[in-house]
Chains A and B, each alone.
Chain A
Amino acid sequence: EVQLVESGGGLVQPGGSLRLSCAASGFSVSSNYMSWVRQAPGKGLEWVSVIYSGGNTYYADSVKGRFTISRHSSKNTLYLQMNSLRAEDTAVYYCAGEGDSYMHVWGKGTTVTVSS
């Protein structure tokens, strides 16, 4: 069974850092494109970042320079390092496995709250 499980969310103060993880089973994070997508409370989906199987990475303008996507092949795990966090980064963060730019495998999400 294909499964993605996010972890690492929590409460952090503005300016702080968090690292999210997405552990995959039945699905290779290295052989597929992998994205992070977030959803602020009561709002729509916002794409955050993608890492290609070849290693290229792309970011939304809202997080560029603050967030870093990476992966660990042997652990089959995707990461999102989030620095300089702001209140507007508060959201449920989902990892998703991609086909041809579409997201066909989703985790259940992990909640990040940025507040003092």
Chain B
Amino acid sequence: QSVLTQPPSVSGAPGQRVSISCTGSSSNIGAGYDVHWYQQVPGTAPKLLIYGNTNRPSGVPDRFSGSKSGTSASLAITGLQAEDEADYYCQSYDSTGRRVFGGGTKLTVL
């Protein structure tokens, strides 16, 4: 049971928009801690996609965007491409110094 809750799977056709939710609690996201997002192609290491709720590292396309409100956050992907098919994880922090992850969401591009 992950501390942050994500939907197990989402899907969309090429060119469409999808979003992935990440729900936490008052001890992590709701306490004001930032949410970060990672993309993981199976068999490879995770890659940072969004940090500090809304920021993209250099090299990440602007098709990827993040938002946060209250105890939840969302990752949106517009103009869906076949190469976006991967697992996506949200991550935050809690007041004990621990990092917490969501359970992951598998994105399927139809």
**Which residues of A approach B to under 8 Å, CB–CB?**
35, 37, 44-47, 50, 56, 58-60, 94, 99-104, 106-109
Contact = CB atoms under 8 A, between A and B. Distances in A.
Nearest to B92: A101
Interface residues of B, number: 28
A104 B57 contact: yes
A102 B52 contact: yes
Given A45-B89, A101-B34, A103-B38, A94 B101 contact: no
Contacts of A94: 45-46
Interface of B: 2, 33-34, 36, 38, 40, 44-48, 51-52, 57, 87, 89, 91-93, 96-104
A60 B46 CA distance: 19
28 contacts: A35-B99, A44-B2, A44-B102, A45-B38, A45-B40, A46-B101, A47-B98, A47-B100, A47-B101, A50-B99, A56-B97, A59-B98, A94-B45, A100-B34, A100-B51, A100-B52, A101-B36, A101-B99, A102-B48, A102-B51, A102-B52, A102-B91, A103-B46, A103-B91, A106-B45, A106-B47, A108-B44, A108-B45
